[in-house]
Structure 1
């Protein structure tokens, strides 16, 4: 009788938890998501185009399509692969520009195509954040966190301005956090984390590297805790994962080597407002430790 009563109470608790999660999603997350979408939709058309956004997005992307002040200065593939990513932003790596180029192909309107990728990834980041919070916190904390993020002014601003890549980085960082906090030690989360880290570096090299180093530090700490708990390390699995991670990172490494060769062939390259540099390492150093008379660093 006692066992039967215990099973009934456990089943009842599971049903109530499922109901709470369902109600939280319907009445907590979805209203927050719709408010976030409405605010970003207004910002998409109403927020002014500042000089930086106009120069980086309209002028540079227009150059890829063969018109504007940056058109005709180099062949199309050279512009798409190296010149536009290196010369027009501190991100350096090209995924951001390739995303903007594809958006312009699909959506012909300049303003809409420039800002749409940031808007979509901001909403995806909000959904991923709520999904992760549900696995970490009890009801109703995930819904409250979703509301706070949905109306946060900085998150709204970077989610509607074309010159900011932070909405991409945020969504990818949530995936890495899931792999480290919720599903650690399994192959699929490991693959997701490596893909997310590599993609982040492809969107903004320095910030992606910072995210990757932090994830590695957490992974090493988790491994040390496993050994402290008496569990043995599987070195075969570690080697397999290192090889697999190397394969995933290979396209980015190839691009970096090719970009370095491009810079060397042109003696130096101008990187946005940073100045002129002769190598990828010099650019990263300037972004990390400061540049110019004010010694302003990009890594914040």
Structure 2
């Protein structure tokens, strides 16, 4: 994704640093400016330590599949840098930064969750995770409804799983625009007709299931949503600090709900048994 100068040397100025400059990579201080330094608690800075670990090597930019398809995508390194300031309590421009990158069609909603940047990063910054955090803060905390429909599309995924237990793709596109019969959804549905016809011909879906399927999410899935949405504060996991997945294991209540969604193992004689 970066022009090759010679051998393994690439032109980072042309892509990487240009995109870093795009996101205003410095702290915009709050007013009034203190006479000495800004004082913040250690706890309030823990969440940005992961993005602060970036060494600007550009590995994530080189591997990003979204940038390969859309060279104008702001990119994983620049967006991880953005979270370094959006997560910093001393910064005064959280909403402005998020609105800018939400409205930009090459911004935070241009990421396709390919995980390539996470695999490429030598410092465990996990740029994709920082992008997802930016999305959550933009949508849940600042309620930014972007013109690119990114926030609505993301919520359509969540609501789809909550209603069905699994992703029902026939509902995803119309739900992203307000529902099957919403005026904003009609042009999008018409534009997607070739894809729909192909899916019908390949029997990936039927007209009945696409239009009239029942919404039957398992009780375990419903319980997971109840537990997560019932929390007073959103939990942000930062594996860079804890170091292991075990430290962020779900609590017993969530684990029980997850287990309830898993099908029981079936023995050779047809009887249900333990999955162990």
Shorter-chain TM-score above 0.5: no
Q: Give the TM-score taking structure 2 as reference length.
A: 0.33
Larger proportion of helix: 1
Q: Give the TM-score taking structure 1 as reference length.
A: 0.31
Q: Which is bigger in relative contact order (C-alpha 8 A, separation at least 6)?
A: 1
